[in-house]
Amino acid sequence: MKITYTHELPANKKGDALVIGVYEGLKNLTKEEVTQLKSLNFSGKLGEVVTVPSTENFKTLIYVGLGKKTELKTDVVRLAAAKGIKSAKRIKAKKVVFELFGADKLKEKAAKALAEGIVLGNYSFNKYKSKEEEKFELEKVTVAGEKEYKKDFESGYVLAEAANFTRDIVNEPGNVVTPEKLAEIAKELSEKYGFKCKVFKEKELEKNKMFGILTVGKGSKNPPRFIHITYKPKNPKKKIAIVGKGVTFDSGGLNIKPEQFMKTMKSDKAGACAVLGIMKAVGELKPDVEIHALIPTVENMPGGKAYRPDDIIVYKNGKSVEIHSTDAEGRLILADALIYGSELEPDVMIDMATLTGACVVALGHYTSGLFTNDDKLANTFLKLSAETGEKMWRMPLDEDLKEDIKGAYSDLQNVGKTRYGGAITAALFLQNFVDFEKVKSWAHIDIAGPAFLNKEWKYYSPGATGQPVRTVVEYIVLEN
């Protein structure tokens, strides 16, 4: 799909469909339009969509509700744009024009959100579909808006394309994207944007004492990998490390998952894929920030060489961990990455992972859990996530729960002694592997809920969402 931005009026364009945003009450329309839309029970409420045949420059007019003007937010524009593009696809429109809506209130934020809504809403993963009618693609989308908002629109396009890049990799099944394949994707991305990329194979993992990655990965015929991508501009203002959990498929290991919890476990690489998506956006936007992208990647399988409950791992930082569940593998591989990341001495280190079902129990499917030792960083992320629509909620690093992960025969155990507070004890576990003498601020984002959805929500189709790519990129670009 080709997208262009123009400052020409929509009336001067031609196409199969024109998408028009309408406030509740239909106050921004002509009397004829109001009469027609009221006859179709359309009032402009948020989420409403109606298509009307047209005989002029466009075959169809698509009206999307923006809700009350006084309540207009960026996510409303994003949602309305997605509703419009989905409606255009349903009627098989190939050339679609959008008028920029919301700029009268939100100004440049509206242009950015509109781009995101169009790109995110247009997304589909139909690579393996054989029927051509299921693979319909729009040819061209033109957005007509004020000239001064073009750069903001282009910025939103970059962010949404990065999220969709992430979605594509997450949606790929485990027989396609293995740890080795994920490393290949990282190399291709790095080559495209001029990043440095190092991939540690088994010997390098052993040399660097990455025993968590080696332990979890040894049960699979697909060997584990550790990926380090570096972006370093001439005069960086700050150094940031981003870390993503890359379990390309999680069977649970010897503590094997029940069928209903295993069938979407291709999504357990969503944190790693988000890191790659973030780096794609970094390559396009070129911020004045040094970025180190770190991805531990494994396949967690119950093979003859698989690790067992009661096994003990001793990490490079000297911490020992007793295995109480092989299905709590993500934190074991992230521990290696956090130790490695600490040695880089970043100002900020952010890890993202589909880490715990407990976080989904606590916050539901649509909200990520945010854990951090830095109040300012927490407030920044919460503010940005409210703008991006990638919802986050701050969770406590409750010191009283540290006792729950204290090992009987080791320093730590990899799950809590009870089922309660599981997302918190997982975050506390990770905290043990961050060297705060070298890392100023650390944040852990548990994306287990919103990273992969089984039904349509807002501008997302079922499957991967690409969260939290847009929020982290906004942090990197805007806050540094």
Catalytic residue numbers? Answer: 257, 331
Q: How far apart are CA 317 and CA 433, in angstroms?
A: 7
Distances (CA, A) of 455 to 215, 448, 466: 35, 15, 15
Q: How far apart are CA 466 and CA 159, in angstroms?
A: 10
Q: Are 279 and 330 in contact (CB under 8 A)?
A: no
Strands 392-394 and 320-322: unpaired
* Helical packing angle, 150-171 and 270-285, nearest 10°: 150
Residue located via tokens 């584990």: 224
Q: Tell me which amino acid residue 214 is.
A: L
d(CA 196, CA 417): 42
Q: At what angle do helices 330-343 and 422-431 cross, to 10 degrees?
A: 30
- Rounded CA gap, 215 and 25, in Å? 61
Which residues, including other chains, have CB under 8 Å from residue 91's CB and lie 6 or more apart? 16, 17, 51, 60
Peptide bond between residue 468 and the one before it cis (omega within 30 degrees of 0) = yes
Question: Distances from the Cα of 215 to the Cαs of 53, 430, 472, in angstroms?
Answer: 62, 17, 30
Q: Which residues, including other chains, have CB under 8 Å from residue 390's CB and lie 6 or more apart? A: 368, 450, 467, 468, 470, 471
> Which candidate, 236, 241, 229, 238, places its Cα nearest to that of 276?
229
